Chains A and B, each alone.
Chain A
Amino acid sequence: KAGVTQTPRYLIKTRGQQVTLSCSPISGHRSVSWYQQTPGQGLQFLFEYFSETQRNKGNFPGRFSGRQFSNSRSEMNVSTLELGDSALYLCASSLEGTRNTEAFFGQGTRLTVV
């Protein structure tokens, strides 16, 4: 069974550019969440999608957006990149309806803004 796949693994972008990250969840998982992780800040929740709808949203500016497709794959977009956006971006997928089902993480995308 394939795990959560994130692409690309590494990205280097310039301030002001925009970037799109992709996440393919585990087959059958319809919930996809995105997190930003920086040293000392832990996992900061960005948003969660379920069945193509954004169900929950964290406290990030509107430059951060996402979407989910009918096959549950999700993309995250960051526009007008800032140096502070440099981080590890993690995607996690999970099943609905069972309390003991964990979130499965992808390997992450390491974004560096220069």
Chain B
Amino acid sequence: QKEVEQNSGPLSVPEGAIASLNCTYSDRGSQSFFWYRQYSGKSPELIMFIYSNGDKEDGRFTAQLNKASQYVSLLIRDSQPSDSATYLCAVRAGNQFYFGTGTSLTVIP
């Protein structure tokens, strides 16, 4: 069974700090990796995707992928209160998406 695991949190960081979110996956055949943000009562929205080993940066967000360790992470620099949400890690293997249960992040002003 393909699994995606995340720490459920909650994770609390002060405003301006770096938030680090982690995700591991079980299927070595996974091809691409996504981070979604979900505000309470809303649907998930894509923040970033990554499919090559290494880092990918987009503004305050950096996704990191290590396929050998089956590990993907999301760093949020200069965290803002508006970043408070649940972050979902998703893995695409073939035509199927597998989601983690999400990590709840709270940024404290």
With A42-B102, A43-B102, A45-B98 known, 11 other A-B pairs at CB within 8 A are: A40-B8, A43-B44, A43-B99, A45-B99, A48-B96, A56-B96, A90-B43, A103-B34, A105-B45, A106-B43, A107-B42
Does A33 contact B97, Cβ atoms closer than 8 Å? yes
Binary contact track B57-77/A, C-beta < 8 Å → 1, others 0: 000000000000000000000
Binding site for A on B (CB under 8 A): 8, 31-32, 34, 36, 42-46, 49, 51, 88, 90, 92, 95-102
C-alpha gap A96/B45 in the complex (Å): 19
Does A102 contact B95, Cβ atoms closer than 8 Å? no
Query: Is A26's beta carbon under 8 Å from chain B?
Result: no
* Residues 7-39 (chain A) with a chain B CB within 8 angstroms: 31, 33, 35
Does A102 contact B34, Cβ atoms closer than 8 Å? yes
What's the nearest-Cβ distance from chain B to residue A25, in Å? 14
Given known pairs A42-B102, A105-B44, the reply for A55 and B95 (CB within 8 Å) is yes
Give the dominant DSSP class at A's interface.
strand
Does B34 contact A41, Cβ atoms closer than 8 Å? no
Does B43 contact A105, Cβ atoms closer than 8 Å? yes
A-B residue pairs in contact (CB < 8 Å), sample of 30: A31-B95, A33-B97, A35-B99, A40-B8, A42-B100, A42-B101, A43-B99, A43-B101, A43-B102, A45-B98, A48-B96, A50-B95, A55-B95, A90-B43, A90-B44, A94-B97, A99-B31, A99-B32, A99-B92, A100-B32, A100-B49, A100-B51, A103-B97, A105-B36, A105-B43, A105-B44, A105-B45, A106-B43, A107-B42, A108-B43
Which one of A42, A92, A96, A108 lies within 8 Å of B97 (CB-CB)? Answer: A92
